Amino acid sequence: MNPIQISALERQIEDLIASYPELAEDETLRADMVQGSTDAEEILSKVVDRMMEAESMASAIGKRVDDLKSRQAAYDRRSDAMRKLAFRIMSAAQVRKMPLPEATLSIRAVPQSVVVTDMTKLPREYVKTKTEESADRQKLKEALQEGKEIPGAMLSNGGETLAVKVK
């Protein structure tokens, strides 16, 4: 079924209705004549088959996407566990950098981040307003790093994380 076949079918139907004007007023007769005198039934059957096939494929792909998301989550957890294990081993060895053939591992400091302890106590100038309130973490961080005391917020200690360079 291609555009040429569809155009030919449309012409067949137009010619049929032009040849038999009474078909314009009787839908049942028109349907019977179109079905018996043109390729409409065959083409419509193919259209329905392809439509159902597309729906089945879309459904199967949706299921596959769900399965892959589940697998992705499992591999994300595994990756996090391996990262924590590498960090633990390097910390135990008191080694901050370890070049390997596959990658270079290094323990680096995590920048300080804002911890909002009580959103209701934050001065208005440190609050972003959208449809719901949230702390302006960038502005809070700058002020806290300058040594300002801000009710409802403080700086975290930062911590450390493992950096993996492959290239």
| Half-sphere exposure at residue 121, Cβ-oriented, CA atoms within 13 angstroms | 10
User: b/e for 103-131, b at 16 or more Cβ within 10 A?
Assistant: eebbbeeeeeebebeeeeebeeebbeeee
- Say what the pLDDT of residue 167 is: 63
Helix (H) or strand (E) holding 11: helix 3-19
- Say what the pLDDT of residue 132 is: 80
pTM for the model: 0.51
- Say what the pLDDT of residue 166 is: 66
Residue 128: strand pairing partners: 134
- Say what the pLDDT of residue 93 is: 96
Amino acid at 8: A
Give the separation between CA 108 and CA 96, rounded to whole angstroms: 8
- Say what the pLDDT of residue 90 is: 96
Residues of the chain with pLDDT under 70: 166-167
CB atoms within 10 A of CB 98: 15
The answer to whether 87 and 161 have CB atoms below 8 angstroms apart is yes
